[in-house]
Structure 1
Amino acid sequence: MSVITISRQFGAGGRTLGTLVAEKLGYSLVDEDIIEKVAQKARVSPNWVKSVEKEAGGRLLKYISGLGPFRKNYLERIGEHKRGYIDGHIYVDLLHEIIKELAHEGDCVIIGRGGQYILKDYEDVWHVLLIADLDHRVKFMEEHYELSSRQAALIVDKHGKRRKNLYRYFHKEDYDQPYLYHIVLNMGRLTIEKAANQVCKLTEDD
């Protein structure tokens, strides 16, 4: 059983590629549904989890980090809130738990959310990074999501910053470095189909 993690510069087509790879291999695709899993474990609403992701690196993270050694751990906070509780640190703790559970089950494609770090030492896990220049990523968003050029550029910029900030929860800044991955694909030079075939080849000997 194999697991593929797909990290990407926003607009490089990670979700599109992941969907195609999952279809070709008969794997399950893990993307936005991981929010539901985090919400269930933290006993909070999915919208709360989404707000934590959106706040990544912003005021919430600065506040939490400022608590320093007095920050309460996950179990203490959950115990104090009958309806559940989540913040950036708990979010990352739960991501580690959930993504490791998914890896144990195997045969899945995991989109983003630090999978390349959480599963870095796991066997039969393949880490993929998608890159592309800015113009290509903006054009991809225009064509696949029916956006104007201005809308696409704003979204790519916004989510690029959010991605950078999200990894601050992991205390990582090297997420685009090739040594973390088994393969790096320049989506400005490959079709989705060809890229998907390359990713599928990683699992051929499993």
Structure 2
Amino acid sequence: MAVICIARELASLGEETAHELADLTGYRYLDKAYVEKKLSEYGIAAQEIQRFDEKKPGFWASLSRGRDDYLHFLKTVLYEEAQIGDCILVGRGGMGIFAGVPGVIAVRLTSPMPIRIERIKKFYNCDERHAEQLARQSDNDRDGFHRYFFNLDWRDP
């Protein structure tokens, strides 16, 4: 089993890079949509997934059983997928879930903020200020998610 965990900043071409790598290696590509589908098969509601996925839970959410269920089934899904065979996992806390597991490599893809802003402006058809806000909010959410669930610095895979 080989697992490549790819953490990425918004608009750093993380998904595109992971997909290309999957095509080149023949590894299975596990992205947000795939993992959400698998979580729903375990009975995790879409609103629960959205509440916890790649963001730090708010105060009330952090006290709910939903948080524990989300993390338990996220780990279950990812461990099961790794047992099936070689895969590339985009986000979802893979670097925390697979920390210290042999055969796993974690990388983080970044881009300079000005480039990210330009990509976000084009994708969301928004102005520069809003694009920068989206980039910073995404960074804060992903950092909070990794710190909260895994006590990890997202910027250091």
| TM-score above 0.5 | yes
Q: Distance in 2 between matches of 1:55 and 1:126?
A: 22
- Following the alignment from structure 1 to structure 2, what is the Cα–Cα distance between the partners of residues 60 and 21? 39
Q: 1:147 aligned to 2:125?
A: yes
Determine if contact 1:92/1:169 at 8 Å carries over to the other structure: no
Secondary structure class of the residue paired with 2:37: helix
Q: Match for 1:97 among 49, 72, 76?
A: 76
Q: Secondary structure at the match of 1:4?
A: strand
TM-score with structure 2 length normalisation?
A: 0.83
Amino acid at match of 1:147: N
User: By how many angstroms is 1:54 displaced?
Assistant: 7.2
> What is the Cα deviation at residue 30 of structure 1?
0.7
Equivalent in the alignment of 1:134: 113
Contact 1:13 1:140 in 2 (8 A): no
Query: How much does 1:172 deviate?
Result: 1.5
Aligned to 1:163: 142
RMSD, matched Cα? 2.3
Question: Does the aligned pair in 2 maintain the 1:18–1:109 contact within 8 Å?
Answer: yes
Deviation at residue 62 of structure 1 after TM alignment: 4.3
Residues 11 and 140 in structure 1, CA contact (< 8 A), matched pair in contact too? yes
Give me the TM-score of the superposition, normalised by structure 1. 0.65
Per the alignment, residue 35 of structure 1 pairs with: 36
Q: Which runs of 5+ in 1 are unaligned?
A: 65-85, 181-206
The separation in 1 between residues aligned to 2:3 and 2:108, in whole angstroms, is 14
Structure 2 unmatched runs, 5+: none
Tell me how far 1:46 sits from its aligned partner.
2.3
Structure 1 counterpart SS, 2:134: helix
* Percent of paired sites with the same residue: 23
Runs of 4+ deviating beyond 4 Å:
none
